[in-house]
Every structure is written in C-alpha cells, then in structure tokens.
Amino acid sequence: MGKAREINATQDKQTIETRVRALLERMSLEEKVGQLNQVQATGPNVVEDLAPAIRAGRVGSVINVVDPEAVKALQYIAINESEQGIPLLICRDVIHGYKTVAPLPIGQAASWNPDLVRDCARIAAEEASADGINWTFAPMIDIARDPRWGRIAESLGEDPYLTGVLGAAMVDGFQNSANGGADTLVACAKHFAGYGASEAGRDYNTTNIPENELRNVYLPPFHAALKAGVETFMTSFSDIDGIPATASDFLLDQVLRREWSFDGAVVSDWDAIHQLVIHGLCENDIEASYLAAQAGVEIDMISSAYERHLPELVEQGRLSMDRIDTLVGNVLRVKIRAGLMDRDVMALPEEPARMKGLNLVREAAQQSLVLLKNERATLPLDVETLKRVAVVGPLAHEPAEQLGTWVFDGDAERSVTPLMALESMLAGQVEVEHVRALETTRSKDRSGFEPAMHAAQAADAVLLFLGEEAILSGEAHCRADISLPGVQAELVRHLRAAGKPVIGVLMAGRPLALGSIIDQFDALIYAWHPGTMAGPAIVDVLFGRASPSGKLPVSFPVMSGQVPIYYAHKQTGRPASPETVIHIDDIPSGATQTSLGMTTFHLDAGYKPLFPFGFGLSYTHFDYSDLTLDKAQILMGERVRAEVTLQNSGDRSGTEIVQLYIRDRFGSVTRPVRELKGFQRVSLEPGESQRIAFELSTDDLAFYRRDGSFGAEVGDFDLWIGPSSTDGLHASFRINA
Ligand code: GLC
C-alpha cells in the first residue's frame, strides 16, 4: 500500500498542511514533477500505455479516460504499485451533463435559477463519478459579449453578477454532495482570464483588456467561484495585454494568490505551456516551463514540458525546490481536500437513476426557453382547436444536435426530440406532418421548400425548428455572420405565404442576428441547445403545460456588425437617444457631415439590441407597482432596502424573474449605464400579488476605482426593479460620506 494512505485522514487545515509537508518530504524530485504532469488517455490500451509512467510516479492526472474499468486499473497502479501511492486526478470536460445532457450553459443561464443550475451540475457529477471521473473542467465563467465567438455557448452570458451567481452554483453542485464525496467532482473555474474578449470573436485570438475593465467585468465571476470553494482554475489560451495567461504572474500570482489567497491548483489549458513558444513569448519549452512555473501554473495539461524540463531547471538553480514544493503542495492539497487520499477511489459510486436525470434536465430545458415574440397570443397552442400542425426544419428531429457542443459523453439515444415529443404527446389529438425541408441548417438546396409549403397549407399552424447545428458553436467554431445559416430565412419567408401562424423554435449555441427575419414569425421561442429532453420541454411550453419564464443572459444584436453589444455599456460622451439617431434609409437629401445625429450609433442598426439582456415574455402578464426605498441616503457600510409589488395581472400562472439594476451616475472611472445587482424568481397565480424586497449594501456597489482600490464611492445612484435591463420602475438614492 502506498505511503500516502498511511497518514490518517482528518480534514482540518492544519492537518492537511501537515499531510502535505509529510508527503513532500518523502517525494523525489521526479515524483514531485510527476504530480504536475497531466497525460491524456488515447488508444485502446490506456492502462498498458500509462502503467509504467504511473508506476514510476511520473503522472499526477489523466485526462479523457472514461472507461470505469480502466480508471480502476490506473488508480490501482498509482496507489499500490508506485512508491508514494498518491491517487490520480481523473479529468474530463463534463460541461453541461455527462450521459444525460442539460441545456448548454448559456441556456441554463437563461433560467436565472441557481438551484436548478446547481442540480444540473450535481446530476452530472453523479453520472461522471460513476465512471471514475473526479475532476471536471467546469464551470466556464468567461464573460462573453461577442456572439461571433463560438464559446459563448458554454458561457453563462454577458453579465458578471449573473455569471458569478450561477458559476458559484455550478461549483457547489460539482464539488458538494450529501453523501461523503465519492460522487463529487473537483470543479475548475475557466478560462482565467478574459478569454471571452478574444478579438473579433475569433477563438484563441488576442485580448486587450485594460486592468480596470478586467477587474470590474472579467474577474468578478472567478472571485465568486473562489468564494464558492472552487479547487482549481484553468489558464486561458489567450494573451492579455501581451502576456499569455499561462505565463501571467499578474493573473496567477498577484491576483489569484496574493490578493485572493487561492490555495488550490491551476492547470494550463490543452498544451498551453508549449503554446507560449508559438505565441512568441519564449524560444523553447524549457523557457516556457520556467515562465509557467514561475507565474504559477501547477499542472501541465498534456504538453509534457514540465516533465521534460522542470528537473533540469531545478538542477540549474533557475527554479528552487521551494518553488516546486509550493506547486506540488497545491496539487496534493486539492487531492486531500477532495478526499482522494482517504476513500477507496476504486470503489466507484452507483450511477444515479436515469429518470432522475431526465426529469431534471427536462425542467432545466423548460426554464431555459425564452419566449421572444408572441403576436396576438399565438402561443400557447390549444390541442382542443388545433387539428393539424406542420413540423418543418432541419432541427425538429436531431437527437445529437439538440445536445449542443461539449457533450463528449452525451448519450443521444436518450434524446427525445421535438418531433418525437409532438408525435407522442399529441397522439390521437393533433395530426403532425413532418417535412425536414433542409438537410442541414447550412443547406442551400431549396428543393424541400415546396413539400414544406404543402404541409403548411394543410395545417393550422407551422412549427419551424431552425437555427444552428452544434458544430457551429463551441471551441474554435466562430462565425463572422451570425444570421441564420444557409437559406433558412428564405424558407421562413416562403412558408409565411401559406397564411398560417408561423412559430419559430430556434436552437443555437449563440444569439443569432435575427433583425432581418424577426417580422416573419408570429411567435418565437429561443431554445439554445436544450439537451436530452429538448422535445418534451419545448412541447410543454408550446402547448401551455409550462409557462415560459426564461430571460436572456446575453443581448441579441440586430445584425452581426453591431457586436459587441451589451446592456452594461458605458455612457460615452455622446450617448445615443431616439432623438439623435437617424436610419440610413431616412437620411434626407443634402444631409451634411454634421447634420446627422452626432452620437454613438450605427446608421444601419441604431444603438439598441434586437432583444436586450434580461428580456423574456410570459404567457401571462406581470405588473410592477409601488417601488419604495427605505432610505434616500445611506452612509458607507449601510444598506438600502428596495421593495416593489409584483402582480400577475394575466389569466395564467407564471414565473417572473424580477431584476434589480443600479447605475452609479458619477465615478472616478466611467461606470456602466446599468448593472445587475440582484434577481428573484417569483411564481404567481392569476391575480396574485407579492411584495418583493431587495437589500443593497455599499459593498454591493463597490468597484475598482481610478486609483486601483476597491470600494464604493459617494454619490448619486439610480435604481430600477423590473422585467429586463431596459424596463422597470425607477428610484434613486445617494451614498453620503
Ligand atoms: C480545450 C478547452 C478547455 C478544455 C480543455 C480540455 O482546448 O479550451 O476548455 O477544458 O481543452 O479538454
């Protein structure tokens, strides 16, 4: 039995540090470097291939092994056949589900439901740990404000507060369980930091984020994840202000260790240490290893640079053994705190009941749906009056596509597609005619248009399942033109001529630019990629068995050229307004350089998104009234309480996500025109009212100021409570010195 297990386990901090030191004292330099080395499992003979290195103590973690028997064999070798007997971290991208797939994270974010997001992470952890995985590379909490960037799909949207709340919930869901930890996953806050600002929305591209913007926008969700106890961080591929994150001592040492006191482990992204050479930051892997180790990267994901070069850097005296011990100690601490050293990691937990996962992801999918348009109450459809429905489009029956990106282990056989759900849930009540019309969303073959038209003409309503396949978003899958791909827009216009209600259900991994097509829909549901139970969730909402409650976690542009566009923008010195904006089609003859609106807008797109952050319709109607503040002025350290009455004035039950925004009117740096500072999900029956309260402290109003310090400032504030980032009741208050 390896020596690691001889140390009795208690988990208080002092004991953990004693255990870490005791292990380090026993370990050779090669064994220490081994803990920093992450290798990938490839090919059919994983155990045979990796056994010698693991036996020699040269491997600390293995990525992408998902066969439970192979995992058990690898752990057995690590624990019983190596000198130190330290268990392996077995890592995998379990991003939004394992075999049972929840909506994309951007879709989960549309639920604005931390408890649901936590539960989705929990079930993913239960399923993945049953296969021996004990570390996931999630949550991805990069702020994403450019929908051209394919990885917006795995983000939680554009807002630091919402991303922080939901990212923390994911950490909790992954890392904590009621039964002792065998069914937990070590979580990983990624990608640290600023990856979402990749220039032009092109993945892996340069980012240029001024420190004040970095600290006020991109870092807060990572701090929230740290406060939630996240055990690992992952460095971003991108360079930020000329320094790749994987070599950034500002990010990894100054911020993460010195300011935030993080004591877990940092893993590089895939081969990112070697990529420091490709970035042109250094000439070879030994220098890359030196820069990454000095900056504070503990684990080298599959580049083997650390394994090949850290020993010689120590022998050359360029890296001290103390530095190595600090890095290795952080890894050992994670393994101890995760319980790997104290439980039998070869005794894998039972897989959870499949229905438990299916029911949960169905609820998650329902709550992820955002009703963007519903003219003349086209929805919900009524099975009593609807006799025949035409189901058209390339995404009505795609079990794998509806899962979205980052679903290595998603079991598409578990998928229930919209077509399957319509046919089963409407059987005997409504006739369903399915016409695919397009082979894929990118297809330019119009030969399916006529069969689709015939189905539309024979039906009482047309359900159009359009959007993007999963391959069009996710890592490295960015689009410069984010309108509907192929000839989908033409198909919508063509079917409109049938004169029947046209209901769009769009699946995509990003906000699409719908400005030129939105008027063709009578109703529109945005479904993102809703996961395994897309079908039942969508049909539940289409037919009113569930009321849509989703709200946008990201702004929708009118057209591609408008991005980046987001609600928490700065005022600028020349803010646009309806009075100052002129449309390119309305420019009068003889207009001069200065006769058009001299403010910040596009002549052909204006200055507003098509749909704003926080927007989402319901089947009922909610009225806000009687906004009150308990104080008009507060001192530093005090709190202000805002209350509002919400009434369901419609005839259906529904859930409203009540949102609280503030604006710091004047600051030592320019401040956003609105910032989300709170939200509550409120379910009300028809006619029911409820008094909703929010409390704000001056700590909630703190930001990084001109001098780099963090805190609130004296001055006037606007406050809104309402249904989105552009509506709501207004009040104001002041912080006094
Ligand atoms: C990928 C991604 C990262 C992922 C890692 C391991 O390139 O950037 O998010 O966790 O490699 O698959």
What digits encode the pLDDT tens for the residues 677-695?
999 999 999 999 999 999 9
**Do residue 485 and residue 365 come from a single domain?**
yes
- Residue 12 confidence class, pLDDT cut points 50, 70, 90: confident
Does a structural domain hold residue 665? yes
Rounded-to-integer distance, Cα 495 and Cα 435, Å: 12
What does DSSP say about strands 523-528 and 370-374: parallel, antiparallel, or unpaired? antiparallel
* H or E stretch at 641: strand 639-648
Whether pLDDT at 181 is above 90:
no
Residue 4, pLDDT score: 43
pLDDT at 595: 80
Question: Does residue 321 carry a pLDDT above 60?
Answer: yes
The H-or-E segment that residue 136 falls in is strand 135-136
> Does 536 share its domain with 397?
yes
Show Cβ contacts of residue 39 under 8 Å, excluding neighbours closer than 6 positions.
50, 53, 59, 61, 62, 63, 302, 304
- Is 497 found in the same domain as 394? yes
Q: Tell me how far the alpha carbon of residue 48 lies from the centroid of ligand 1, in angstroms.
A: 25
Atom 8, ligand 1: residue with shortest CA distance? 269
Q: For ligand 1, say whether the CB of 270 is within 6 Å of any of its atoms.
A: yes
The answer on 434 and 531 residing in a single domain is: yes
Query: Is 688 inside any structural domain?
Result: yes
| Residues 55-104 pLDDT 10s | 999 999 999 999 999 999 999 999 999 999 999 999 999 999 999 999 99
Looking at residue 11, what is its pLDDT?
A: 61
- Nearest atom within ligand 1 for CA of residue 140: 9
Do 601 and 628 reside in the same domain of the chain?
no
| Residue to mutate, 65, 237, 269, 297, ligand 1, most ligand atoms under 8 Å from C-beta | 269
Which residues have CB under 8 Å from 390's CB, separation 6+? 433, 435, 452, 455, 456, 458, 459, 461, 462, 463, 500
Same domain, 600 and 695: no
Q: What is the mean pLDDT of residues 242-267?
A: 98
The secondary structure of 189-215, three-state, reads EEEECCHHHCHHHCCCCCECCCHHHHH
Condensed to tens digits (0 to 9), the pLDDT of residues 96-152 reads 999 999 999 999 999 999 999 999 999 999 999 999 999 999 999 999 999 999 999
Task: Judge whether 269 counts as a catalytic residue.
Answer: yes
Q: What is the DSSP string of 94-123?
A: -SSBSSSBPPPHHHHHTTT-HHHHHHHHHH
User: Taking the model in full, what pTM does it have?
Assistant: 0.97
Long-range contacts of 21-26 (CB under 8 A, 24+ apart): 21/329, 23/84, 23/86, 23/332, 24/325, 24/328, 24/329, 24/332, 26/84
Please tell me the distance from the alpha carbon of residue 197 to that of residue 457, in angstroms, as a whole number. Answer: 46
Q: Is the pLDDT of residue 1 over 80?
A: no
Q: Is 93 in the pocket of ligand 1 (CB under 6 A)?
A: yes
Residue 335 resides in a domain = no
With a 6 A CB cut-off, is 151 part of the ligand 1 pocket?
no
List the end-to-end C-alpha distance of the chain, in Å, as a whole number: 64
What CA–CA distance (Å, rounded) separates 170 from 230? 10
Average pLDDT rounded to a whole number, residues 664-687: 98
Has residue 201 been placed in a domain?
Answer: no
What is the number of structural domains in the chain? 3
Q: Using the predicted structure, report yes or no on whether residue 340 has a pLDDT greater than 60.
A: yes
Report the percentage of the chain scoring pLDDT > 70. 98
Q: Hey, what amino acid is at 371?
A: L
Taking Cα atoms as reference points, which of 348, 357, 353, 405 lies closest to residue 134?
348
Which CATH number is 502's domain given? 3.40.50.1700
One-letter amino acid at 63 equals I
Q: Is the CB of 190 under 6 A from ligand 1?
A: yes
Instruction: Write down which residue in 608, 632, 663 finishes a domain.
Output: 608
Residues 365 and 508 in one domain: yes
- CATH classification at residue 634: 2.60.40.10
Mean pLDDT taken over the chain:
96
Same domain? For 398 and 510 the reply is yes
Q: What is the pLDDT of residues 372-429, one digit of tens each?
A: 999 999 999 999 999 999 999 999 999 999 999 999 999 999 999 999 999 999 999 9
Q: Mean pLDDT, to the nearest integer, of 203-210? A: 97
Inter-residue contact 162 to 553 (CB < 8 Å): yes
Q: What pLDDT score does 592 carry?
A: 87
Task: Please indicate, yes or no, whether residues 730 and 677 belong to a single structural domain of this protein.
Answer: yes
Could you give the strand order of the β-sheet that contains 431-435, starting from the edge strand earlier in sequence?
370-374, 523-528, 502-507, 461-467, 388-392, 431-435
Q: Is 236 inside a domain boundary?
A: no
Q: Is residue 590 part of a domain?
A: yes
Domain housing 636: 622-736
Sheet holding 622-629, edge to edge: 622-629, 639-648, 689-697
Distances (CA, A) of 84 to 2, 60, 182: 5, 11, 22
Instruction: Give the pLDDT confidence of 481-528 residue by residue, as tens digits.
Output: 999 999 999 999 999 999 999 999 999 999 999 999 999 999 999 999
In a domain, 426, yes or no: yes
Whether residue 379 lies inside any domain: the answer is: yes
**599 & 472 share domain:** no
Q: Which residue has the higher pLDDT, 269 or 592?
A: 269
Q: What is the whole-number distance in angstroms between the Cα of residue 216 and the centre of ligand 1?
A: 25
Residue 464 pLDDT > 50: yes
